[in-house]
C-alpha cells in the first residue's frame, strides 16, 4: 500500500485526476491518499502530474535570475537572439537562454518545439486544427494561435500520442 499526503491547496489542482482513489481529508489542511498496489500506473501518472504542478525553474534574465513554475509557461518564442517566455496572466519575460537550451530544459515539463522559433506547453493547448500544406494550428487556453510547421508535425503528433 502507498500513502501520499498533500497540502489542501495543492490537492485542488489534482482533484479531477484523483477521483477514483480513496481520499481522507482532515483538519490539518492536508489530504491523504491511500492507493492499492494494483493501481501502480495511475499512481505514477498522479505523481508525474504533482511533480509538474510543483516544479519551478530558474531562468537568467537581463536583471538576474527569475523562478517560474513550469505549469505557468504557455509558450516560448524567439526573435533572433531575443527569447521571450509567455506565462499565464499575460506575463512575458525575456531570458538569456538560447531556444535549444530551453527545449532541453523544459522537455520533461511537456514543452516541445513546434517550429524554428517556437516552443509550446502541451498542457496549454485547447484546440488543434489542420490547415493547408499539412500544417497544424494550435489554439491555446488563452486564445493565442500558433502554427506547427510541417517539419515538426510528426514529432508534435508523437508527443500527443495521435
Q: In Å, how far from its chain's centre is CA 26?
A: 30
What is residue 128's predicted lDDT score, i.e. its pLDDT?
Answer: 94
Cell of 159: 508527443
The average pLDDT across 52-61 equals 81
| CATH number for the segment(s) 56-160 | 2.40.50.1020
Longest CA span, the chain: 57
Does position 49 have pLDDT exceeding 80, yes or no?
no
Residue bearing cell 538569456: 96
Selection from 31-35, 41-45, 50-54, 111-115 with the highest mean pLDDT:
111-115
In the chain, what are the domain boundaries? 2-54, 56-160
Q: Which of 73, 71, 22 has its CA nearest to residue 49?
A: 71
Does position 51 have pLDDT exceeding 60, yes or no?
yes
The average pLDDT across 92-119 equals 93
CA angle 42, 45, 48 (to 5 degrees): 150
Q: What is the pLDDT of residues 64-88, one digit of tens each?
A: 999 998 889 999 999 988 999 999 9
Question: Residues 55, 70: contact at Cβ < 8 Å?
Answer: yes
- Cα–Cα distance, 105 to 131 (Å, whole number): 30
Does position 1 have pLDDT exceeding 50, yes or no?
no
Query: Would the pTM of this model clear 0.75, i.e. be above it?
Result: no
Amino acid at each position: 500500500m502507498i500513502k501520499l499526503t498533500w497540502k489542501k491547496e495543492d490537492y485542488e489542482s489534482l482533484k479531477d485526476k484523483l477521483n477514483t482513489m480513496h481520499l481522507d481529508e482532515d483538519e490539518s489542511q492536508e489530504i491523504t491518499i491511500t492507493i492499492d498496489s494494483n493501481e501502480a500506473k495511475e499512481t505514477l501518472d498522479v505523481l508525474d502530474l504533482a511533480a509538474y504542478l510543483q516544479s519551478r525553474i530558474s531562468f537568467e534574465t537581463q536583471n538576474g535570475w527569475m523562478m517560474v513554475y513550469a505549469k505557468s509557461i504557455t509558450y516560448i518564442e524567439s526573435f533572433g537572439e531575443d527569447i521571450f517566455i509567455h506565462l499565464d496572466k499575460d506575463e512575458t519575460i525575456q531570458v538569456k537562454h538560447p531556444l535549444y537550451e530551453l527545449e532541453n530544459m523544459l522537455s520533461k515539463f511537456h514543452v516541445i518545439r513546434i517550429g524554428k522559433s517556437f516552443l509550446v506547453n502541451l498542457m496549454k493547448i485547447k484546440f488543434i486544427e489542420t490547415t493547408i500544406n499539412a500544417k497544424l494550428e494550435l489554439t491555446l487556453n488563452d486564445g493565442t494561435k500558433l502554427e506547427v510547421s510541417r517539419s515538426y508535425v510528426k514529432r508534435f503528433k508523437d508527443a500527443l500520442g495521435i
